[in-house]
Amino acid sequence: MARILVTGGTGYIGSHTTVELMQQGYDVTIVDNLSNSSIDVIDGIAAIVGRRPEFANIDCGNFVDLDNVFKTYPDIVGVIHFAASKAVGESVEKPLLYYRNNIGSLVTLLEVMAEHDVSNIVFSSSCTVYGQPDANHLPVDETAPIQKALSPYGNTKQINEEIICDQAHANKSLHATILRYFNPIGAHPSALIGELPNGVPQNLLPFITQTAAGLRQELKVFGNDYNTPDGSCIRDYIYVVDLAKAHVKAVERMLNCNEREQVEIFNLGTGNGLSVLTLINEFEAATGVKIPYSIVGRREGDIEQVWAEPKKANTVLGWKADTPIREVLASAWKWEKHIRNIK
């Protein structure tokens, strides 16, 4: 069976994707420098799948190390590139770190891929490239204009998309799939892998589950004066397992479809927008746990509302994110309880 290289494969989305790939029979080699993840994730993947992915503790920005991985696994037919720094706030404080990590690693990876004639890459991008879409572009589809990034993190996603397009233009054998994720949440139903935020969570659902677990006193809802039905911001929350499955579809299309365009871009979302207050209510309904919260001022840089038009992924990839939101929220709580030893 074909081997896929998964960079950042011990991270949140990377680990769930590795599970889905292996369950579909692919061999996987993970490369990760463990800067924001734990080696124990490999055990979680192995416990779910019943076999271990190969693993190399290297930095994707290191040409020699990455080159060695491709030499060790000559059966690699494609790469899914997750490895990146992803904290929006930190990127504002340390822009050069983000430009070096996120852009340096993609450039190095594309160089090594060319060296070894590996011509398929799936890239993790983000709906952040759309900024706040105009009202007539909601739900947002792939043709919506790219807007100036609000953070160095967002800028690295935009620049990386351009780097991929430029390299594909110069090298006609390269095939790329750019996946723009909306807001991934939840954990594997086994609770053997999930999201492991570093320090105080910046993202909404990890903050909710940590509040439910008693680690945080209360959730702060950033603003209830937006131009939305209940005044809180709206996002498209997508189950990480559904998201992982889209990567398998993207890989299959790359390996098997001759009709595809050289660079294809897909939104990965549910097509439904949920407000912050709705998500809290749904979490309480799904788990029976009350979330203490208060309304505070808006968070700088937040977008009022964005949700996906996922039709292109639905039709072209034959994929749909359809796990019910309460099941998704229950999975996140099951994972939080697992890592905190809560019965």
Relative to beta strand 219-222, strand 293-296 is parallel
Regarding 73 and contact with ligand UD1 (CB under 6 A), the answer is no
- Smallest CA-to-CA distance from 222 within 306, 275, 297 is with 297
Nearer to ligand UD1, 288 or 301 (CB): 301
Nearer to ligand UD1, 78 or 131 (CB): 131
Distance of alpha carbon 311 from alpha carbon 313, whole angstroms: 5
Retrieve residue 283's tokens: 């979490």
Applying CB under 6 A, which of residues 154, 186, 269, 271 lies at the interface with ligand UD1?
Answer: 154
Q: Alpha carbon 304 to chain centroid distance?
A: 21
Q: Which amino acid is at 215?
A: L
- Smallest CA-to-CA distance from 29 within 85, 84, 80 is with 80
Give min distance, CB of 335 to ligand UD1, in A: 16
Extended strands (E) in 8-131: 27-31, 54-56, 76-81, 120-126
Applying CB under 6 A, which of residues 18, 85, 108, 128 lies at the interface with ligand UD1?
Answer: 128
Applying CB under 6 A, which of residues 16, 86, 188, 334 lies at the interface with ligand UD1?
Answer: 86
Nearer to ligand UD1, 88 or 121 (CB): 88
Give min distance, CB of 295 to ligand UD1, in A: 9
- Smallest CA-to-CA distance from 326 within 280, 275, 291 is with 280
Give the residue nearest to ligand UD1 (CB).
Answer: 233
Among 153, 226, 237, 239, the active-site one is 153
Give min distance, CB of 252 to ligand UD1, in A: 25
CA distances from 241 to 48, 52, 181 (A): 13, 19, 13
Nearer to ligand UD1, 24 or 198 (CB): 198
Regarding 92 and contact with ligand UD1 (CB under 6 A), the answer is no
Distance of alpha carbon 320 from alpha carbon 308, whole angstroms: 12
Residue list 183-242, contact with ligand UD1 (CB under 6 A): 183, 202-204, 207, 219-222, 233, 235
Regarding 102 and contact with ligand UD1 (CB under 6 A), the answer is no
Nearer to ligand UD1, 69 or 221 (CB): 221
Retrieve residue 249's tokens: 């579809």
b (16+ CB within 10 A) / e for 57-73: ebbbbbeebbeebbeeb
Give min distance, CB of 208 to ligand UD1, in A: 8
Regarding 4 and contact with ligand UD1 (CB under 6 A), the answer is no
Could you tell me if 78 and 255 are in contact, meaning their C-beta atoms sit under 8 angstroms apart? Answer: yes
Regarding 311 and contact with ligand UD1 (CB under 6 A), the answer is no
Part of the chain binding ligand UD1 (CB under 6 A), chosen from 1-9, 18-26, 117-125, 295-303: 295-303
Name the burial class of residue 213, with classes exposed (0-12), middle (13-18) and buried (19+) by CB atoms within 10 angstroms of its CB: middle
Nearer to ligand UD1, 6 or 88 (CB): 88
Q: Which residues sit opposite 22 in a β-bridge?
A: none
Q: Which amino acid is at 331?
A: S
With a CB cutoff of 8 Å and minimum separation 6, the contacts of 99 are 152, 156
Give min distance, CB of 107 to ligand UD1, in A: 21
Nearer to ligand UD1, 138 or 219 (CB): 219
How many Cβ atoms are within 10 Å of 79's Cβ, its own excluded? 26
* 153 is annotated as an active-site residue: yes
Give min distance, CB of 340 to ligand UD1, in A: 19
Give min distance, CB of 149 to ligand UD1, in A: 9
Retrieve residue 215's tokens: 């680690």
Regarding 121 and contact with ligand UD1 (CB under 6 A), the answer is no
Question: Could you list the residues that contact ligand UD1 (CB under 6 A)?
Answer: 86, 88, 126, 128, 150, 154, 183, 202-204, 207, 219-222, 233, 235, 276, 299, 301-303
Which residue numbers are catalytic?
Answer: 153
